[in-house]
Amino acid sequence: MNLDELVAIDTHTHAEVSCCQPKDPWFDAYERAADKYFKNAHRPTIDETIAYYRERRIGLVMFAVDSESHIGNRRIANEEVAEAAAKNSDMMIAFASIDPHKGKMGAREARKLIEEYGVKGFKFHPTVQGFHPQDRMAWPLYEVIAEYKLPAIFHSGHSGMGSGMRGGGGLKLETSNPMLLDSVAVDFPDMQIVIAHPSWPWQDEALSVCLHKPNVWIDLSGWSPKYFPPQLVQYANTLLKDRMLFGTDFPLIPPDRWLEDFEAAGFKDSVKPLILKQNAIRLLKLDQAEKK
């Protein structure tokens, strides 16, 4: 990344629409529920997202979500996201998403994506992927991620996905309690774990795990900062200021809105640069890449 040119790094953006494969109608009901929940039906292509962020001089980490086993929708190929990042390496980084149910085949895919496509991290969504983070089913994937000392983002807390659908669309919220990541952080101390989103209704659990385990971070995506729980702002300003990350959940929340609300949300001026860019540089080891 061209760090001097970037005003911030968004660590949580979604590849919503492929530029090279047709949309899967199987996922329509879940998308409509999410659109209603977030009051946002805009779903840009990967290329449109990159252009949007380039115009704003904001770096981005992008990933799709592989929920093929639990929901049954066809995923966007990790290779497509990685190739887009390679073409826009001055401002974009690719993470991959692999359904943990794929076991050793998933682990093989992860290794290939790291070694051949330059993927720099992984995204998990326990609720839509239908697994508990501490389930040993996911161990083959974690072992590869830890071997390369890469970060893994885990959705936490409530989910707009399935919200309002009959039976919640078969999605269970309890799988995204951040306390379930505590044992993962113990067993994989070389894997940097990012708890995504304010973790309502388990915000205190997220703060506790992050405070106790030095390989755990929190990204501030998915909510406007004006709605952040006060204890989240308090710890971001003090004990956890070095492990809080700017993230939007784009396209569900646009960076313009997030950044405007961030200015008035009670964060210290000395902390804002850490959250907006400096912490992400350390997590993603961009400072090391720059020295090379």
pLDDT string in tens for the chain (292-residue length): 899 999 999 999 999 888 878 786 767 777 787 778 777 767 899 999 999 999 999 999 999 999 999 998 889 999 999 999 999 999 999 999 999 999 999 999 999 999 999 999 999 999 999 999 999 999 999 999 999 999 999 999 999 888 889 999 999 999 999 999 999 999 999 999 999 999 999 999 999 999 999 999 999 999 999 999 999 999 999 999 999 999 999 999 999 999 999 999 999 999 999 999 999 999 999 987 655 5
Cis peptide before 214 (omega within 30 of 0): no
Of 97, 106, 79, which Cα lies nearest the Cα of 20?
79
Long-range pairs, 24-27, Cβ under 8 A, ≥24: 24/73, 24/74, 26/71, 26/72, 26/73, 26/74, 27/71, 27/73
Q: What is the pTM of this model?
A: 0.95
